[in-house]
């Protein structure tokens, strides 16, 4: 490996630093290739750098073996265990729905058309708010009474009452 490093002009850089750089570069590639798979090969590069630095591995075959085994071990740990932990789970959207807004009454203050948002004013303020953005599958004109059938974040899904 040292001969290769000298040929490309990196003969004075130590091999652990090269493996560390490769590992960090591979982890950075995760930004452009999301999926959280490439990242673990970057971790493998960093671990290989550590083993080379402490002198635990010196042969080229041993370095690549440490790289692949550690990469696959961390990839397996991620795939079969870590990604199932609540901290790493993606939101399904159900957690932003507020069932306490369901069945509240109000009136339209900006016309609502199918797939075009309007605005409603609830008769009773909720979370300190009376005016809300609203959507409906039907045309609802100004001053018509509505009932909330669903709430997603700060947007209400309504229908005529």
Measured distance between the N- and C-terminal CA atoms of the chain, rounded to whole angstroms: 77
- Is the predicted pLDDT of residue 12 greater than 60, yes or no? no
Tokens 């009932």 — which residue? 147
In the chain, how many domains are there?
2
- Is the predicted pLDDT of residue 8 greater than 90, yes or no? no
pLDDT tens digits, residue range 66-95? Answer: 999 999 999 999 888 887 787 766 655 545
Residue 15, number of CB atoms within 10 A of its CB: 17
DSSP 126-153: ETTEEEEEEEBSS-B-TT-EEEEEEEET
Query: Is 78 in the same domain as 113?
Result: no
Of 68, 88, 108, the residue that ends a domain is 88
Burial of 112 (0-12, 13-18, 19+ CB in 10 A): buried
What average pLDDT is seen over the chain? 86
Burial of 53 (0-12, 13-18, 19+ CB in 10 A): middle
Burial of 133 (0-12, 13-18, 19+ CB in 10 A): middle
Query: Is 10 in the same domain as 82?
Result: yes
Strands 105-110 and 145-152, sheet pairing: antiparallel
Over residues 153-159, mean pLDDT = 88
Query: Is 83 in the same domain as 6?
Result: yes
User: What's the CATH number where 145 sits?
Assistant: 2.40.50.140
Query: Is 115 in the same domain as 37?
Result: no
Q: Are 117 and 134 in contact (CB under 8 A)?
A: yes
Q: Are 154 and 132 in contact (CB under 8 A)?
A: yes
Instruction: Look at residues 130, 107, 110 and name the one whose alpha carbon lies nearest to residue 119.
Output: 110
pLDDT tens digits, residue range 93-126? Answer: 545 566 778 899 999 999 999 989 999 999 988 7
Query: Is 108 in the same domain as 50?
Result: no
Name the residue range of residue 79's domain.
2-88
């Amino acid at each position: 490996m040292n001969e290769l490093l000298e040929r490309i002009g990196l003969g004075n850089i130590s091999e652990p630093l090269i493996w560390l750089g490769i590992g960090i570069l591979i982890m950075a590639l995760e930004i452009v290739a999301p999926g959280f798979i490439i990242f673990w090969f970057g971790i493998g590069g960093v671990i290989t750098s550590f083993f080379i630095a402490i002198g635990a591995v010196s042969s080229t075959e041993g370095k690549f073996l440490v790289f692949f085994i550690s990469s696959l071990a961390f990839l397996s740990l991620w795939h079969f265990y870590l990604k199932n932990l609540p901290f790493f789970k993606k939101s399904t959207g159900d957690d932003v729905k507020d069932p306490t807004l369901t069945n509240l009454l109000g009136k339209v203050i900006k016309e609502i058309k199918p797939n075009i948002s309007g605005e409603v004013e609830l008769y009773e303020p909720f979370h300190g708010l009376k005016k809300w953005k609203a959507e409906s599958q039907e045309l609802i004109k100004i001053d018509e009474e509505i009932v909330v059938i669903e709430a997603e974040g700060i947007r209400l899904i309504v229908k005529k009452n």
